Structure 1
């Protein structure tokens, strides 16, 4: 679902980033997140530690970087202008989840398994929600022709992210969203759009 890099340089960078991430995920799964070092990841990916840090600021960012957020914003902004923001968001969810490559889903499942299985990653992922709110607040404001710091747009973004977060399973053994769960995300956004009726 992500845009394909166009220049040779961009393609090489994307390939290096993907290799680092794949080797990191493999090592995390084989020997555990805590036991895996940046040096081991860099060695497996045949890059230097300094190259690793050019792509990922810290080891945890290999797992926590969510490439789907930017895709979601792009698809959201491309929705027909006559759709209200939450309806555009629901359509974007539909478009992304129904058109996603199975390999992307397989990687996303591995990523979410790590996040939900490693307490420090899960805690950081919750903290990252603020960045997601920032991203979608800007997208909503842009789509509606409003200032980037428009307060109601930020509140709407926070409510939408919170609604989606609310459907995520919690507790021991919890896992993240699966391909078939997009309907639950739509239901959450529909409830929000309709004023959160409890009946």
Structure 2
């Protein structure tokens, strides 16, 4: 049997690694400039020059300056992790474990922890980034709602599905902001567990 050449796969792998390096270079350059001269004062052409790419390359990877802060691979990781959870798990448990999996993959190195600290501080202090985050979370919600609805045999357009996913994502955002505000002292998994556990309490009924 003739062996199928493996060169195209290797080339595809090289292209993907190059894309990842370029994305990281752009984001790293942006974060350095944000720290040096502030978010609003930093222009995309400055980011491109610092990353040694063209402005058009920056926009090819990140449609807006806000996306440099917010865009990453976590949505697909979270959705994949949710799809992989056992079918018998209750929705809240499945999402909690999926979030744990996604965060373990995303925030396991000192560099990644430093990046999320910068990211969440920009979310907290820059209105344009907060506004873009709302748009990003809406897209994330649609993705997760579709996956959750498939698990439950329901429609992603149901009010209950929409409210549940919105509550989860809102809790995740609040947990990350809390974590950064406390200088990352707490274990992130514990913070996420506390956020999820809040949804099982009767806090809303307490006087």
Given the two structures, how large is their TM-score scaled by the length of structure 1?
A: 0.80
- CA-CA distance at 1:58 after TM superposition: 1.1
- CA-CA distance at 1:18 after TM superposition: 1.1
Q: SS where residue 135 of structure 1 aligns?
A: helix
Deviation string for 1:132-159 (max 9, x for gaps)? 3212212212333444544432232122
Between the aligned partners of 1:87 and 1:191, the Cα distance in structure 2 is: 13
Between the aligned partners of 1:31 and 1:108, the Cα distance in structure 2 is: 19
Query: Corresponding residue for 2:26?
Result: 20
Between the aligned partners of 1:154 and 1:176, the Cα distance in structure 2 is: 30
Q: Which has the larger radius of gyration?
A: 2
Deviation string for 1:90-133 (max 9, x for gaps)? 12233344564222222111211222222322233244332232
Given the two structures, how large is their TM-score scaled by the length of structure 2?
A: 0.77
For structure 1, the 5+ residue unaligned runs are 1-5
CA spacing shift, 1:166–1:112, aligned 2, 3 Å: closer
What is the Cα-based RMSD across aligned positions, in Å?
A: 2.7
Query: Corresponding residue for 2:116?
Result: 108
User: 2:36 is matched with which residue: 16, 30, 39?
Assistant: 30
Tell me how many residue pairs correspond in the alignment.
190
Query: Corresponding residue for 1:188?
Result: 195
Between the aligned partners of 2:27 and 2:132, the Cα distance in structure 1 is: 18
Considering fraction of residues, name the structure with more helix.
2
User: 1:132 is matched with which residue: 140, 156, 173?
Assistant: 140
Q: Is the 8 A contact 1:24 1:41 kept in 2?
A: yes
Q: Is the 8 A contact 2:34 2:42 kept in 1?
A: yes
Q: Is the 8 A contact 1:116 1:176 kept in 2?
A: no
Kindly report which structure 2 residues correspond to 1:143-154, keeping only aligned pairs within 5 A, or say none: 143-154=151-162
For structure 2, the 5+ residue unaligned runs are 1-11
